[in-house]
A and B are shown apart, each in its own frame.
Chain A
Amino acid sequence: MTITGSDEMSTHAGASANPEPATGAPHKLVTIRDVGHDYPTRDGHRTVLDKVSFDVNPGEFICIVGPSGVGKTTILRCIAGLQPSTRGEVKVNGRVLTGPSSDVGLVFQDYSRSLMPWMSVTDNVALPLRKRLTRVERERRVTAALREVGLDQHTESKPWQLSGGMQQRVAIARALAFGAPLLLMDEPFASVDAQTRAELEDLSLRVREDSGQAVILITHDIDESIYLADRIIVLGGSPASVIAELTVPLGSNRDQINTKSLPEFAELRKTVHTLIQEASRSMGQKGGSK
């Protein structure tokens, strides 16, 4: 199934129209260079992010972890174009991002706020596609996305009639149908129970496999980050930057029981844990950031 098709959709905001001329280097879907972000405060500003740099390859699954309050959501909002970075540049598909772009789909943390309660599941998923696609193409994409997340039996339900896990599936279907080559997920499974969480993790892996989209997922759950990611980006420090990039050598066929009992998994968990603990301790010494 292919529902990625950003070439059919026009870039809707911000991104400048001139793609980088092709160079000899392998194509990067996202390049983040020296991104910094300041929040205004009463006495000047507070620097949350400084010199954050990393790349994302097409189809790659990236998890961003770090101590709470380190600025994970801020970097995600910068990549989404919802919050222009103060310094540095974010390029998606070769275009410098200056606002939200049709190359980026988003799954928000809180499904109860990000879905429209008065719209049916179908209408929620179709909402971003209005005015962009013909009706036939729109319906095709919505149907495909709902089938992919296993909600094809609930198309006419309202979100509030569904369980939390099902609601977050609607949100995933919406981002999927949007057809962007990059999917951003901000702690998407933070408010569902453990069983549902495991299901949604597997769903995310399958979706990435089928659609070929790259995913950047933020989580505070170390096991989740290892289970999902091809590569883990650890943020730390105050202001925060990338303190480690870890490749996850667990292959592409993962399952909740076996993958999580592999020695490599345990090894990585220890590494990431240590990194976050150290980062968190050094933040504490500097007075913390949140």
Chain B
Amino acid sequence: MSRIRPGIVFAALFMLCACSRSNDTLYKESGYAMGSLVEFTIYGIDEARAQAAVAAAQNDLSFLHGNFDPWHPGSLARMNSLFALGGRFTAATSVLPLIAKSTELSQRSGGLFNPAIGNLIRLWGFYKDDPPPTGPPPAPAQIAAMLAQQPRMSDLRVTGVEIESRNPAVVLDFGGIAQGYAADVLIEGFKLAGIRNAIVNISGDVRVIGTHGAAPWRIGIHNPRGQGVLASLQMNADESVVTSGDYERFYRYEGKRYHHILDPRTGMPAQGAASATVIDADAVFADAAATALMVAGVKDWHAVAKAMGIKSAMLVDDAGRVYMDPATAKRIHFEIDPPPPVVLSEPL
């Protein structure tokens, strides 16, 4: 048997150390924006530059929130009012990219992701946090009347900077995509500022670039049916992980739980999954895709994922069972003991 050279042992141990993560130049800052918690993490630059970059990002976020909030006076609220009146008008140019992206993703999801159902969201009361909705749920006749109006993203016609809706019932609410879009925008801003390693976390929607020193960024995924973290994931250098879950916003009424992710087909809170997680390069895609998979539920998620071009996804059902594709299973490290039962799908 050949000897193990001490030099090799030293090199291996040195590499082990090098793979660990230094906090020497780690800058973290959190705050509240877009009605939720926002966290910035930047590695590898001095604190003054990191602070300046975060301040700029917060300004961008404030601008985006003002444009994308449908329930307070602003660009989107104005556009929603004009959709109801009919006719063509000049759109807010800052909203047009999100309309284009939403229209594309709504079509790819077969309408399971549908930001045109703002009226339904308003009916349920899930547009307000202060005070949050407490029930009762809307009457079935009210829901049926809104479904009959069939508001869809394809009702919108955009010509240059002008827009019109063929359906006065279209009310845009980008709650299922705006945070992912904002995470992408802020990361692009960081890149332009020369930042190579960072995390933007907007209300749990995570987009990363680079690494934490010599190691990849490690993200914990919340357990929807238990406490703390269900699993962790080591991120690639430019990647997002977004989860939609029924635990984020809900109320109980007469013993029944009603959550905020509405199924556009039934007008009711989506059934069949407690959470849906999507991993993708773009947070905007992952955000819309997670919403669509949450609506699809554990029965139909795989077909919807294939139709949308999702490459990596994980769902958790009410019983805590985990559904995922083999590529995702290779990357997921469960943090609970014992680990949950897993149902592996065909590859995506």
Chain A bound to chain B:
no
